[in-house]
Amino acid sequence: MSDIALTPAARPIPIPVSQILPWLAFAGVLGFLLIYFVGAEQGATSLISGHYVHEFVHDGRHLLGFPCH
């Protein structure tokens, strides 16, 4: 048997909420934009003219279960 005592590792430093909130807001906006472009960017709700965005996200649209035809 060894008499070596295990010392606890360094404690994690808590991150203040004021530093987390901007990143959460950024991730939320990015997520909403992603869902919009994959799920709704076609037809009457289209923000970008043409079918470029639709064709770019077409397979992802089917993979996530969004109808497009």
The whole-number pLDDT of residue 40 equals 77
Q: Once rounded to an integer, what is the mean pLDDT over residues 1-7?
A: 67
The whole-number pLDDT of residue 16 equals 92
* DSSP state letters, the chain: ---PPPPPPPPPPPPPHHHHHHHHHHHHHHHHHHHHHHHT-SGGG-SSSSSHHHHHSHHHHHHTT----
CA distance 52 to 38: 12
pTM beyond 0.75, yes or no: no
Give per-residue pLDDT as tens, 18-54: 999 999 999 999 999 888 888 777 766 677 777 777 7
Instruction: Answer yes or no: are the C-beta atoms of 57 and 37 closer than 8 Å.
Output: yes
